[in-house]
Amino acid sequence: MSIEREIKLALPADQIEAATQFFVAHTGKTGIKVALSNDYFDTPALTLAKSLGALRLRKTPHGWLQTYKTVGSAEGGLHRRHEWEIPVAGEGLEIDALVAACNDAASADALRAAAPELIELFSTNFTRTLWHVVHGDTEIEAAIDQGEITAEVEGQTRRAPISEIELELKHGDEAALHALQAELTAALPGVAPDDVSKAQRGYRLRER
């Protein structure tokens, strides 16, 4: 188990290029683009959501990953949550392995209870541009995500755009996250903290 700590910022479409240049200036690199396809699962009764968790199957250029995250806390764009992530052999969940990896009893119980009835609820598909930002002994993964959330509801496809920045602390002092956020928002006034995760937006899209 790890505690994920990241700042999420809503990124207006007209500031995408400026945000890109901000990270280029900070790192001296153009960024690495990665296509990510993600399917989110729950039961028809939303067992996992009610247990304050989210289950995701992600396709990356290097293989498949399944991830279970708790909702945790979010304030001022800073998200803190438990996360369990393990690779899987292909396009399918391996719940028993994820339950075994989950060392929080409540989260493991929620996954175990949901397993027989899991269905795909919505997807997020986006291009992530990545930079590695170093502040002294602190390492931050900076990302610009551009894409959309889709959900099939009663035969219709609902869509919502994804346009955001994520600053994830990989190692070091959390204060460096806030320092980088301050620099970024000073340079791009339209960028604003976002306390709603992609998973939460997906659930809301279905309920709309």
pLDDT at position 115 is 95
In 71-155, beta strands by DSSP E: 73-75, 78-88, 119-135, 138-153
Indicate the residue type of 119: I
pLDDT at position 9 is 96
- The CATH number for 149's domain is 2.40.320.10
The segments of the chain whose pLDDT lies below 50 read: 1
pLDDT at position 135 is 79
**Range of 143's domain?**
2-207
Tens digit of each residue's pLDDT (9 = 90 or more) over 145-165: 999 999 999 889 999 999 999
pLDDT at position 58 is 96
pLDDT at position 117 is 97
Helix (H, G, I), strand (E, B) or coil at 179: helix
Q: Which residue has the tokens 């986006």?
A: 126
Phi (first) and psi of residue 137, to 5 degrees? -90, 5
Phi (first) and psi of residue 186, to 5 degrees? -70, -35
Q: Is 77 left (phi over 0), alpha (psi -120 to 50) or beta?
A: left
- For residues 31 and 23, the answer to whether their CB atoms sit within 8 Å is yes
**Spatial distance between the Cα atoms of 73 and 67, rounded to a whole number of angstroms:** 18
- How many domains does the chain contain in total? 1
- For residues 105 and 112, the answer to whether their CB atoms sit within 8 Å is no
DSSP classification of residue 92: S
- For residues 51 and 45, the answer to whether their CB atoms sit within 8 Å is no
pLDDT at position 109 is 92
Indicate the residue type of 6: E
Q: Is 165 left (phi over 0), alpha (psi -120 to 50) or beta?
A: beta
3-state SS of 13-25 is HHHHHHHHHHHHH
